[in-house]
Structure 1
């Protein structure tokens, strides 16, 4: 629905679909594609009348609608300043007497337009949509020339948002021509209620006085309404209402849209607009005896599982190459089990918002921030822009919140304005008069759109003024640190509290939620790539422990050029969180279930073999789907017994599932294995039909008291004698680069080479006959980063990083690439006394939640050392003739030789398996 039919002529035009599926007329012409272009570094174009020059005056071509700094524009030159566009074309509206409008999705920043040498109009602002009527200057019988002059000089007063990943310069959203009758509908606002009532405010522009009818036809005629009108010349405001019987409510789970058309009929022609609305109500309410509110959707609590979306594409920058990619963005978020997205410091294109409406994803839409001081010019420019943005996007049912400012950007005065160092991180430059301006903007938005939640400032400096959402940001690593921080915020959140507010303002009962969190900025030395799976799981458990919290925004959806903590890589490829190996079938979506089992315990803890451990549990429910039912809690404690999945303990319990919020459950009592193991407590919540509602887990490092090295009996193998060799105990190595990690529990070799160990087998007094020998170890390939060879180069994360400065991620000390679709293979060859006895393929150099020991033994939570890395269990059995020889000699030289992919060896306190190199003798 609402797509222009594609023909052989249109398929080569970039972004051929209609740009506004929420407001579409049939008679239009797409102006995307090749335009003539030239820069104007000396600002001489107007003086030289370039608006009237022929094609030869333009030095090159550009592909619209892509920013001239982006690769897809065909220019790819990040040059601030002035650019001129020219396009010659013929187009005739489908009916005589039509009014013709030239429409722009967005142009950054100042724009002047001429049609056939006649100045059509000017516009300022980088994000708002605008149009000019060009009826009088248009020649429907012949060629027409459109000239656009754009100017983007990155002034401090410009609302720029976070463009540093790739600048949006010039035309960066679609351009098109549109025909309308003399009387037409300028815009319409739909306000919906869950009882089916729909209130409509329409602006109608009339060419003269007369009678008319405004009719509504939606849901294939299931919803119809007609309003008779008496129009006067010029702009008319019309208020009407109708009721939808048995309304189907819009939500992320059931994103039903009432699609159809508006039709304005009368003496001056017929205007038909294809559009849609969704019936839903956004609010906040107290439940039970609580004195704080939760966010509600359609009158019920909704837990907001969200992500921060920078909307950056590596070829189009902030303009998506295709409509399909915008659709896929929404799909990829929903695939994770997310139900909302915060669009960061900018509005997105209308078509992306359409896909959020169509597929079902709540949207928190930020207003773009400026970077300078909040002087009168900045305020005026900002206010003009936000009026356009909110007016354009008002009808999208997916949008539930407007965010007026982000992290006090553009709100600080004085010499530190625009800085992220020194006192700019405090509140002393956020002056009282600016705070009052923020309050005015909040109240203006509230009056303009009472249907949504308004946030004054998405706060990272504890500086709300007046807001519908009590939010805060944090970037902290470490279980204890996050637990303490979140608990403190929750404890200080109550009506009348001064916490998180500035200027003598205090909290009301606004819903508490986190609006930015992650494990990128909280790591010392920069925003390097590291496994987010481990951190993410315990952070989500901490959030769901607290009844006051009703949502979060994780930073971020995709990696970008200086932050590598996305759910996906920048190109959209997957990262592997490793959850499915811990609990069969588990994905990250399990952590986003509205009905959730909180394991109120550390992500890993050291325990003794055979120990009984009490594990506290909580139920967290923000859906009434299962209320009043009896659910089943199913659990098992399992461990990997050198390649064999072994269950040490298990059980099940019935749970009465009723009521919203967080409540304690009976703790689990689990008995640990009677040997060294990495044990996983896997928990599942099942409904009455036996279907899984959610999954969760924690881990234990079970220590049985056996020596970490030397000779001992292996009780797990029927008393075989085992020699345990520390991985760092090699006699020599032959790698070009070699280093240790995780406090010496892991050794690495770059490229081809070998680690050599001298092995002493049990003497005859300990074991008279050695019949079989097996060598067991944990190993992975070794992806070599620049820091492994050249050393760490820590980079100061100042204001340039917030502008999107590219990161030298491979020099960051915390970088270790999380498991993803890109593989780094190697091969290890086992050599005994110079003779090859076996080879093992190493598929990758992985790091995710399976690397339990590599996380558990990190000495500093925010200064990571190959955290989450782990290997593959390797077993090589020696041929009988070699075992016979070693039975006589009782010692040998063991070499573990790697191919070009390198080699990492994991010891007892690193990786996935609690072992060093084992030589098992039977």
Structure 2
């Protein structure tokens, strides 16, 4: 928001306020009247003030195009000239000049491709100049050259990252905290969860029913963590539909626009388990149209539904056949010839850790009595996942969950992040083994398909 017209000479006081009724008619995810956890309201992400010139860069949109060895750049600003320069460290890779409001293409010869194993990021500088050649604004950013799409691997439809199948082994990450609820207490705390995920051998985070501050996505880009991004659900979507549904669409579009430049995000998830779901087939197609460069999972876990709402079920379109199986993984989806098979949630096995539990009745989908037994159970589940990947066409498995959350004790970490509830070296070993087995499927492809 541009506040120039509100400023007066001398001292100004700026008050930032928000009205958030948290009544379930706007997207709130788990943090709403039918959610599971402590409710919060108001401003919970960073607010900042940034001085700019009269002519400034309002937004940039970056789209890697590895098929043509180039980066598509779109700069939103008043009509003016721009120059975009790509860097590999301090070395200039390429630069191009043009006008705002037009798509520009920066050549990236022999691009270093971004992936979980090699999350290489190019730096980018965009300068805006007036008709006299004076620089009026400059933005520094970054980008990753990567591609995500569906393709056939030995006759099975799977997601391809940079034209290769990468088995997605992920954690359901809800991003809740004992002290800040939706807000991580520090950036170090936010980063801790992500580094732990990487350390434990996972290559994917499903950011569940929540968006995060931009620093989260920066670290996902930097660390090499694939991200499935959920849209927070609305709850009372059958009431005042003209308003609530239009707000949902507006905020879904805004979320995609806000996070568009992050190379780590590979999949959008508009709905989860039919929570607040409406017009699922249409919205799945709509999201695909808004961002055709990513995959879309229209209704993750369509086999489940809340008791207050009839299940919308499988939309039949989008890029995934996605079921949630607790404890699973047996019973997971199979590819249907045009969509990949995903196990959007499974596991949820709990362990009580005295002195590190929320002061309520704690629960999980199943339980083990010790750290060793819980680790054994996880390894066994992932051995089953590998079988499903090799012989039933499964391409994604997302375990519930990163940390305990209030009453839920099915995290790999306790809610206070003080205790690792599994043997992380064994977790890492089995995760890496499953991902490696997925990589080997690429070697079985005919030479002309690699």
Structure 2 spans left out of the alignment, 5+ residues: 305-312, 351-361, 446-450
The answer to which of 179-188 and 264-273 deviates more is: 264-273
Distance 1:273 1:373, change over 3 A: same
Q: Is the counterpart of residue 153 in structure 1 residue 26 in structure 2?
A: no
Pick one of 442, 451, 463 that aligns with 2:284.
Answer: 442
Distance 1:312 1:469, change over 3 A: same
Distance 1:241 1:445, change over 3 A: same
Q: How far has the Cα of 1:269 moved from its partner?
A: 4.6
Give 1:167's aligned residue.
39
Q: Verify the 8 A CA contact 1:188 1:202 in the aligned structure 2.
A: yes
Q: Is the counterpart of residue 138 in structure 1 residue 7 in structure 2?
A: yes
Q: Verify the 8 A CA contact 1:405 1:456 in the aligned structure 2.
A: yes
CA-to-partner distance for each residue in 1:830-860, whole Å, 9 max, x for gaps? xxxxxxxxxxxxxxxxxxxxxxxxxxxxxxx
Give 1:337's aligned residue.
201
Q: Is the counterpart of residue 574 in structure 1 residue 419 in structure 2?
A: yes
3-state SS, counterpart of residue 295 of structure 1:
strand
Distance 1:537 1:228, change over 3 A: closer
Distance 1:295 1:228, change over 3 A: closer
3-state SS, counterpart of residue 228 of structure 1:
strand
Q: How far has the Cα of 1:550 moved from its partner?
A: 1.1
**Rg: which structure is higher?**
1
Pick one of 354, 358, 379 that aligns with 1:537.
Answer: 379
Distance 1:165 1:248, change over 3 A: same
Distance 1:138 1:530, change over 3 A: farther
Give matches, 1:550-629, under 5 Å: 550-578=395-423, 587-594=426-433, 621-624=437-440
Q: Verify the 8 A CA contact 1:471 1:512 in the aligned structure 2.
A: yes
Q: Is the counterpart of residue 519 in structure 1 residue 334 in structure 2?
A: no
Give 2:308's aligned residue.
none
Aligned-CA RMSD value:
2.3
Pick one of 65, 69, 85 that aligns with 1:193.
Answer: 65
Q: Verify the 8 A CA contact 2:147 2:162 in the aligned structure 1.
A: yes
Pick one of 285, 292, 314 that aligns with 2:151.
Answer: 285
Give matches, 1:70-89, under 5 Å: none
3-state SS, counterpart of residue 185 of structure 1:
coil
Distance 1:370 1:555, change over 3 A: same
Q: Verify the 8 A CA contact 1:213 1:266 in the aligned structure 2.
A: no
Q: How far has the Cα of 1:283 moved from its partner?
A: 1.2
Give 1:310's aligned residue.
174
Structure richer in strand, relative to its length:
1
- For 2:258 and 2:340, the matched residues in 1 are separated by 27
Q: Verify the 8 A CA contact 1:529 1:564 in the aligned structure 2.
A: no
Give 2:217's aligned residue.
353
- For 2:270 and 2:322, the matched residues in 1 are separated by 13
Q: Verify the 8 A CA contact 1:295 1:550 in the aligned structure 2.
A: yes
- For 1:577 and 1:238, the matched residues in 2 are separated by 52
- For 1:217 and 1:373, the matched residues in 2 are separated by 45
- For 1:224 and 1:311, the matched residues in 2 are separated by 38
- For 1:272 and 1:589, the matched residues in 2 are separated by 42
TM-score normalised according to structure 2 size:
0.84
CA-to-partner distance for each residue in 1:370-429, whole Å, 9 max, x for gaps? 111342222111011111111010000000000000110013xxxxxxxxxxxxxxxxxx
Give 1:55's aligned residue.
none
Q: Is the counterpart of residue 379 in structure 1 residue 164 in structure 2?
A: no
Name the count of aligned residue pairs.
Answer: 407
Give 1:116's aligned residue.
none
Q: How far has the Cα of 1:534 moved from its partner?
A: 3.0
Distance 1:222 1:265, change over 3 A: same
- For 1:254 and 1:269, the matched residues in 2 are separated by 35
CA-to-partner distance for each residue in 1:324-377, whole Å, 9 max, x for gaps? 222222101001000000000122111111000011100000001011134222
CA-to-partner distance for each residue in 1:182-236, whole Å, 9 max, x for gaps? 2222112111122421112221135xxxx5233324332422323233xxxxxx6
Distance 1:659 1:595, change over 3 A: farther
Q: Verify the 8 A CA contact 1:400 1:452 in the aligned structure 2.
A: yes
Distance 1:530 1:561, change over 3 A: farther
Q: How far has the Cα of 1:238 moved from its partner?
A: 1.6
3-state SS, counterpart of residue 534 of structure 1:
helix
3-state SS, counterpart of residue 151 of structure 1:
coil
Q: How far has the Cα of 1:271 moved from its partner?
A: 0.7
Give 1:471's aligned residue.
322
**Structure with more contact order per residue of length (Cα contacts < 8 Å, sep ≥ 6):** 2
3-state SS, counterpart of residue 218 of structure 2:
helix
3-state SS, counterpart of residue 166 of structure 1:
coil
- For 2:92 and 2:437, the matched residues in 1 are separated by 36
Q: Verify the 8 A CA contact 1:189 1:201 in the aligned structure 2.
A: yes
Give matches, 1:480-491, under 5 Å: 482=328, 485-486=330-331, 489=332
Structure richer in helix, relative to its length:
2
3-state SS, counterpart of residue 188 of structure 1:
strand
Distance 1:333 1:279, change over 3 A: same
Q: How far has the Cα of 1:246 moved from its partner?
A: 1.8
3-state SS, counterpart of residue 286 of structure 1:
strand
Give 1:215's aligned residue.
84
- For 1:200 and 1:214, the matched residues in 2 are separated by 10
- For 2:225 and 2:204, the matched residues in 1 are separated by 5
- For 1:187 and 1:258, the matched residues in 2 are separated by 19
Q: How far has the Cα of 1:624 moved from its partner?
A: 4.9
Give 1:17's aligned residue.
none
Q: Is the counterpart of residue 453 in structure 1 residue 295 in structure 2?
A: yes
Q: Is the counterpart of residue 203 in structure 1 residue 42 in structure 2?
A: no
Give matches, 1:180-259, under 5 Å: 180-195=52-67, 196-206=69-79, 212-219=81-88, 220-229=90-99, 237-259=101-123
- For 2:335 and 2:29, the matched residues in 1 are separated by 32
Structure 1 spans left out of the alignment, 5+ residues: 1-131, 230-235, 412-433, 477-481, 496-507, 580-585, 597-619, 628-657, 661-922
- For 1:530 and 1:148, the matched residues in 2 are separated by 47
Q: Verify the 8 A CA contact 2:386 2:437 in the aligned structure 1.
A: no
Distance 1:317 1:303, change over 3 A: same
Distance 1:330 1:494, change over 3 A: closer
Give matches, 1:356-371, under 5 Å: 356-371=220-235
Give matches, 1:486-501, under 5 Å: 486=331, 489=332, 493=334, 495=336
- For 1:170 and 1:519, the matched residues in 2 are separated by 31
